[in-house]
Structure 1
Amino acid sequence: MTLSLEWNDEQDALEIGEPLIAMLDTLLKLAAEAEGIESGDVVISFVGDEAIRVLNRDYRNIDKATDVLSFSMLESVEGEPEILYEDDEELDEDLDDDGQDAGDTDEEYGEEYPEPLGDIVISVERAIEQAQEYGHSVEREIGFLFVHGFLHLIGYDHGDEESERIMFEKQEAVLQKAGLRR
């Protein structure tokens, strides 16, 4: 299994350290295992309310801060530009003998790079507020938002009662398995 978690810290409300990143890495592995995902790369960015408000406005046309946003690399959007290659030879280099995508490899080590699953953006300010409101730790709230964002990356949504129930049950199962109880 090759799962990787990369992170960026663009906020000042909370010190993001190795214990939190290790917890999120554990949550990534548990959630991926529960969904049968064996490899992938997830990038998480910690931002403030203003930065997530701008992203929410620009990408969802909702001009207000939110707690978490997910940008999946597994979905395509109508009107999304197609990847164009400079020439057909470059395209052919990326295909195996059967004409299938050969995937990126590290020639020195012969390892395949994990497919990017997408980006998760969490407002730490909002996570702190919600942790206080719900009476649990900031770590648990960030863990909840991370798993929520991950499930969005792989295609889950909560647009109706049934899909919301399914998604929230999956989130809670992962958090419980990791020992992050309310």
Structure 2
Amino acid sequence: MRTDGSRNRAAILDAAREMVSEPGELHLSAVAKKAGVGQGTLYRHFASRDDLLAALYTDEIDDLVDAAESLVAAHAPDEALRRWFERLAAYARVKVGIIEVVEASVWADMSSTTHDKLGRALTTLLAAGVESGQVRRDVDPRDVILLSWFLAHVGADEWRDRVPRLLDVLLDGLRTRER
């Protein structure tokens, strides 16, 4: 893709990312306007709203997965896991908007690849925690994915108060305990 094409695609995704968490239906014409591109440019990159949302979802997951390695390299395992969960929570706010507008068949296809990607990221984070003695050995990535699904069910009005507390409970449950 040419530089201007890449720049336009990124601008469209940035605009959609910002707009998808706002109330109301996501209109492609509004996304194009916010991105500073014409509708033809938007449709060259994304033939439909579902295509745009699928790309947004995939980019968000890829960013989340890529963060695992850099967080483990830069922080103690327990802090890396905490920071990763904070990113997951921020992502979940966007995901809620995406789930509401993507058709079930599209969501099912994307969901299967998402679990594999998140599983790899969590394997990295959990392995670092187990190696350091900070994370339980009996927890696997699927356990954590299942436990973190609460993020998709927290309402916007309670997000600020409830999510930090729930993340603390989740992280406390992953830590090793002296017996």
Q: Give the TM-score normalised by the residue count of structure 1.
A: 0.29
More helix by share: 2
Q: Give the TM-score normalised by the residue count of structure 2.
A: 0.29
Higher relative contact order (CA 8 A, sep 6+): 1
More strand by share: 1
